[in-house]
Amino acid sequence: MSPAPSPRVIALDGPSGSGKSPVARGVARVLGLSYVDTGAMYRAATLAVLRAGVPPTDAEAVERVVSAATISLSSDPDAPGVQLDGADVTAEIRGPEVTATVSAVSAVPAVRRRMVAQQRELAAGGAVVEGRDIGTAVAPDAPVKVFLDADPDVRAVRRAGDRDVGVRAEGDVVQAVALDLARRDRLDSTRAASPLQAAADAVHLDSTALSADEVIARVLELAAAAGFAAAR
Ligand code: DC
């Protein structure tokens, strides 16, 4: 599958909790680009697999279920969302069952081929695309590629905070999230098909001690240097 040229794509890769989503949305908003959350698409595919009751390790059954599913993404950075077979599943895909199973489903090569084709279509008009394999597989010729990372403990605190909105996450919750992140990082980085990996030409940013606004400013500098102009 040869990728279509992606002259107006900003590729943003990195592990969970590195801060990709707020950064991708902020950059897309300033530049007037679409926002493509590829993780949400793999999560919706995983929800389809769970609903169908097939084992996530049965690659053929997973492929069958995902091929029959219709996944649509809202690529408005101010109103991101995902639909599965016409119903909004934006909240449901963040649940623990999907989170526990998504690495297995996203490791199936046929699932990835399908998702990547759809992601390229979504990004064709210009987009900030966040994920794990954007700079390496979805848009390898993107003019701006960023690999965002952060200290694992900081990532766990951020992800735990996502669950307990407005409430300081308890230590044991953070510890459980840290273990789950380490498990997913390992699975996502070691799978055969398009593992989580920085593209050779990606700019590495560490968000451990930076706010989302500071990372957005840095990505906007890179975008400006590559010829992207702010939307009016
Ligand atoms: O970004 P996220 O945590 O919502 O992503 C959920 C999972 O989807 C992640 O554990 C790995 C998978 N994923 C992937 O394999 N490739 C992508 N481009 C994006 C996500």
Q: Write out pLDDT tens, residues 46-96.
A: 999 999 999 999 999 999 999 999 999 999 999 999 999 999 999 999 999
The answer, yes or no, to whether any atom of ligand 1 lies below 6 A from the CB of 21, is no
Ligand 1 center–CA 21 separation, angstroms:
12
The answer, yes or no, to whether any atom of ligand 1 lies below 6 A from the CB of 42, is yes
Burial letters 22-49, b for 16+ CB under 10 A, else e: ebbbbbbbbbebbbbbbbbbbbbbbbbb
The answer, yes or no, to whether any atom of ligand 1 lies below 6 A from the CB of 103, is yes
The residues facing 83 across adjacent strands are 72, 88
* pLDDT digit string, tens, across residues 9-24: 999 999 998 999 999 9
Ligand 1 center–CA 45 separation, angstroms:
11
d(CA 143, CA 135): 10
Whose CA is closest to atom 11 on ligand 1? 103
